[in-house]
Amino acid sequence: MCLHPESIPPVPEVTTRVAKAAFPKGNRYMRLRDELGVFYNDEDFAKLYPDKGQSAYITFINRI
């Protein structure tokens, strides 16, 4: 597998609205994202993958 680094997109506005409607006081995961933001990028993992081969999944999607 090879990794083609991509930046992590911002949280979609509709997702933000739904999350705030479901958790008006927030929760630990929402606060974590708000306080820390993005704390790793695909580029941090690029050296772990070869330059050629089948594309790997985007690293942040593997965490979901």
Q: Quick one: pLDDT band at residue 15, thresholds 50, 70, 90?
A: very high
Give the mean model confidence (pLDDT) for residues 49-57: 66
Q: Quick one: pLDDT band at residue 42, thresholds 50, 70, 90?
A: confident
Reported pTM: 0.52
Look up residue 25 and give its two tokens.
Answer: 């006081």
> Which residues are registered as beta bridge partners of 11?
none
Give the pLDDT score at 21.
97
Q: In whole angstroms, what is the distance from residue 45 CA to residue 24 CA?
A: 35
Domain boundaries, the chain: 13-62
Give the mean model confidence (pLDDT) for residues 53-61: 59
Give the pLDDT score at 4.
66
